Chain A
Amino acid sequence: AQRVTQPEKLLSVFKGAPVELKCNYSYSGSPELFWYVQYSRQRLQLLLRHISRESIKGFTADLNKGETSFHLKKPFAQEEDSAMYYCALRVRSGNTPLVFGKGTRLSVIA
């Protein structure tokens, strides 16, 4: 079975500091990885997906199959980045829905 692990429940950083939200997964096949974000009192929304290889709001994430990781990074955190971040995995070639990690709450301190 697929599993997503986000080891940090809470991450606090100062404004302007680099941010790395960790995500590890367990799946032996070819996964599709996502990061979802939930700002205060808003719905979950897609932040980025690994197949797009894009930077959204300054965030990037690289799929590392050797380490089975998909860490989310941003070089300079902003206060508006404070939110709940969820890493999610989907089997690319199957009829299975997203499996989410437990989430990491990012708090950016001014």
Chain B
Amino acid sequence: DAGVIQSPRHEVTEMGQEVTLRCKPISGHDYLFWYRQTMMRGLELLIYFNNNVPIDDSGMPEDRFSAKMPNASFSTLKIQPSEPRDSAVYFCASSLLLGVAFFGQGTRLTVV
């Protein structure tokens, strides 16, 4: 297995544009997490899914953020409209039965 795969690796967009980040978890894992990493706040949990169902989205900063998991092998995190303060590295991670979490390589988002 190639591990958790995220795309794109880098995204530069203008303020107000829609941004979609993608994640493919490790096959067979039943939990998927979206984290945001910034210098100021470190790693923040945004939302997580269990068997494709969102369990806790209390970490999603605003209504501009939304996440979906249409099937066991794909998830998206969408920001619409994007703002400069959304600039961060967004990580997707997956795990089996809330065991060890395996992370993707992250998407570095820059909103100008």
Contacts and interface: CB of A to CB of B under 8 A. Distances in A.
A44 B91 contact: yes
Nearest to A101: B42
B105 A90 contact: no
Given A43-B106, A95-B55, A103 B101 contact: no
Given A43-B104, A44-B103, A95 B98 contact: yes
Contacts of B45: 97-100
Contacts of B93: 44
Interface size class of A (residues with CB under 8 A): 10 to 19
A102 to B, nearest CB: 3
A75 B48 CA distance: 37
A86 B89 CA distance: 15
Interface in A46-82: 46, 49
Interface string B31-53: 10101000001110100101000
B83 to A, nearest CB: 22
Residues of B contacting A: mostly: strand
Contacts of A49: 100
Given A49-B100, A90-B98, A97-B33, A43 B105 contact: yes
B41 A102 contact: yes
B82 to A, nearest CB: 23
23 contacts: A36-B103, A43-B4, A43-B104, A43-B106, A44-B43, A46-B100, A46-B101, A86-B42, A90-B98, A95-B55, A96-B98, A97-B31, A97-B48, A97-B98, A97-B101, A98-B45, A99-B45, A100-B35, A100-B43, A100-B45, A101-B42, A102-B42, A102-B43
Given A43-B104, A102-B41, 13 more contacts: A34-B100, A42-B105, A45-B103, A95-B50, A96-B98, A97-B33, A97-B45, A97-B48, A98-B33, A100-B35, A100-B42, A101-B42, A102-B43
